[in-house]
Amino acid sequence: MKDKLISTLIKKEIKRQKEGIELIPSENYASTEVRSVLSSYLVNKYSEGYPKKRYYGGNENADEVEILAQERAKKLFKVPFANVQPYSGSPANFAVYLATCKPGDTVMGQALIAGGHLTHGHTVSATGIFYKTVQYGLKKNSSGKSEDLFDYKEIRRLALECKPKLIWVGATAYPLKFHYDRFAEIADEVGAYLAADIAHVAGLIVGGAHPSPVPHVHIVTTTTHKTLRGPRGAMIMVTDKGIKKDADLASKIDKAIFPGLQGGPHDNQTAAIAVALHEAAQSSFKKYAHQIVKNSQALAQVLIKGGLTLVGGGSENHLLLVDLTPTMGPGAGVFVQKALDVVGLTLNKNTVPEELSSPYYPSGVRLGTPASTTRGMKEKEMKFIGEMILKVVDEVKAYRLPKEKLEKGAYVKQFLVDLQKNKKLTLLRNQIKRMAVKYKIP
């Protein structure tokens, strides 16, 4: 490669990915084939419009690529309609608003602070700027056991009060299964569209490790690069129930994506989505999806045994949300994330239900098993990872985030200096590296 600067950075990133263990639950390793299709000659083409209805010439191959991706999505998710053009999850979700609501209409979604997504109506997102949004939270888990954290009585009360046009079900930081039928009862009662954002669990659903929202909701959105293990991208699907509610829903979704929100689709991305959908239809993917959950549960057991508090009392999917408040006080996510970074375990700080701190200094960390499972790691390796996490938490458990806003930055800066001097972390780093390099990345 002639561009030495970029080539050096890519080499460094490959080394980082190989020598560390990726625990961010929304990340994964796409197959070699998916990556190679992304850099194919399809990257050169413009294809505004939809198959057989384009605004540019020379689209005979792009048409076939997009039709294949649509057909594979429909078959895999058991839906009558799929739009495979969204550039990524956020535009896909925004297109759902465009298709179902007018600016100013009321919508409901799970609050970001309680594990929802920005695009489910947060005030800083365009979805919260152009629509009137009502947010629902989670119940406090008092039993310490895995239990559904949604308060359906409260969600129903809110829905009856605000009469939303659209209700979102789906999250970015929820460790348990969704009971889509309970949300459907509420949406049907108030006549709202119900959209499931399954970005995190799409791979678990098609792999048969998780229930599908398809019988219960009108619209399904998903990114294609998380548990589904494809390229960056997204899809919007309409269910039979959706078409029954609104015969024009599919064409409204198409129009919302193009020309509503986007220009030309990324044909290389569409082709890579088609490849990923083909991979996800194989029986080996079912095994993969089930192993993700087994690994997540194995990791949860080690962390619970080691004294950490897990939101929801454990994990039923690919992710775990650790509430560090009881161990290290409010705002401790930053300490654990940074310390784990030093040893080569990558995860992210995250808010927890009933957060006492802020999204920038949240009180939890979110981690998951999709990427490590792709590398072939199983329960035994999860035990190793869990024990390493406990050792790292032990190293930093004396730190407390100052309450004073102005003191926080300086305190974290000093913490980072301390981390670099910590010899125990260097030893753990070497142990993790020795283990990680045994497991190839595609």
Query: Is residue 89 within the footprint of ligand DSN (CB under 6 A)?
Result: yes
Known catalytic membership, residue 136: no
Least distance to ligand DSN from the beta carbon of 348, Å? 7
Closest to ligand DSN by CB, 26 vs 110, is 26
Catalytic residue, from 165, 226, 366, 429: name it. Answer: 226
Q: Residues 185 to 244: which contact ligand DSN by CB under 6 A?
A: none
Least distance to ligand DSN from the beta carbon of 117, Å? 6
How far apart (Å, rounded) are the C-alpha atoms in residues 21 and 435? 9
Per rule CB under 6 A, count of chain residues that contact ligand DSN? 4
How far apart (Å, rounded) are the C-alpha atoms in residues 217 and 195? 6
3-state class (DSSP) for residue 295: helix
Least distance to ligand DSN from the beta carbon of 231, Å? 15
Give me 170's structure tokens: 């789906």
Known catalytic membership, residue 346: no
Q: Residues 103 to 132: which contact ligand DSN by CB under 6 A?
A: 117
Report the chain's terminal Cα–Cα distance, integer Å: 21
3-state class (DSSP) for residue 434: helix
Query: In one letter, which amino acid is 37?
Result: V
DSSP codes of every residue in 254-280: HHIIIIII-SS--HHHHHHHHHHHHHH
Query: Is residue 353 within the footprint of ligand DSN (CB under 6 A)?
Result: no
Closest to ligand DSN by CB, 112 vs 206, is 112
Catalytic residue, from 46, 50, 87, 152: name it. Answer: 46
Closest to ligand DSN by CB, 31 vs 172, is 172
Buried residues in 74-97 as b, exposed as e (16+ CB within 10 A):
eebbebebbbbbbbbbbbbbbbbb
Catalytic residue, from 119, 221, 223, 373: name it. Answer: 223
In the bound complex, which residue of the shown chain has the CB atom lying closest to ligand DSN? 26
* Nearby residues of 198 by Cβ (< 8 Å), 6 or more positions away: 170, 205, 213, 220, 221, 222
Closest to ligand DSN by CB, 116 vs 164, is 116
Known catalytic membership, residue 131: no
Buried residues in 349-361 as b, exposed as e (16+ CB within 10 A):
bbbbbbbebeeeb
Closest to ligand DSN by CB, 117 vs 429, is 117
Closest to ligand DSN by CB, 187 vs 321, is 321
How far apart (Å, rounded) are the C-alpha atoms in residues 218 and 88? 20
How far apart (Å, rounded) are the C-alpha atoms in residues 63 and 210? 32
Query: In one letter, which amino acid is 157?
Result: R
Candidates 28, 70, 172, 296: give the one binding ligand DSN (CB under 6 A).
Answer: 172
Query: Is residue 370 within the footprint of ligand DSN (CB under 6 A)?
Result: no
Give me 439's structure tokens: 């497991």
Catalytic residue, from 66, 197, 316, 395: name it. Answer: 197
Give phi and psi for 166, each to the nearest 5: -140, 135
Known catalytic membership, residue 197: yes
β-pairing verdict for 132-136 and 309-310: unpaired
Q: How many residues are present in the chain? A: 442
Catalytic residue, from 177, 232, 294, 383: name it. Answer: 232
How far apart (Å, rounded) are the C-alpha atoms in residues 78 and 237? 10
Least distance to ligand DSN from the beta carbon of 340, Å? 16
Least distance to ligand DSN from the beta carbon of 200, Å? 6
Known catalytic membership, residue 157: no
Candidates 22, 23, 26, 392: give the one binding ligand DSN (CB under 6 A).
Answer: 26
Least distance to ligand DSN from the beta carbon of 86, Å? 13
Catalytic residue, from 19, 27, 33, 48: name it. Answer: 48
Query: Is residue 59 within the footprint of ligand DSN (CB under 6 A)?
Result: no
Closest to ligand DSN by CB, 242 vs 368, is 368
Least distance to ligand DSN from the beta carbon of 48, Å? 26
Cα separations in angstroms, 95 against 223, 242, 289:
13, 15, 29
Instruction: Mark out the alpha helices in 131-206 (DSSP H runs).
Output: 152-162, 180-190, 202-206
Known catalytic membership, residue 46: yes
| Residues near ligand DSN (CB under 6 A) | 26, 89, 117, 172
Catalytic residues: 46, 48, 197, 223, 226, 232
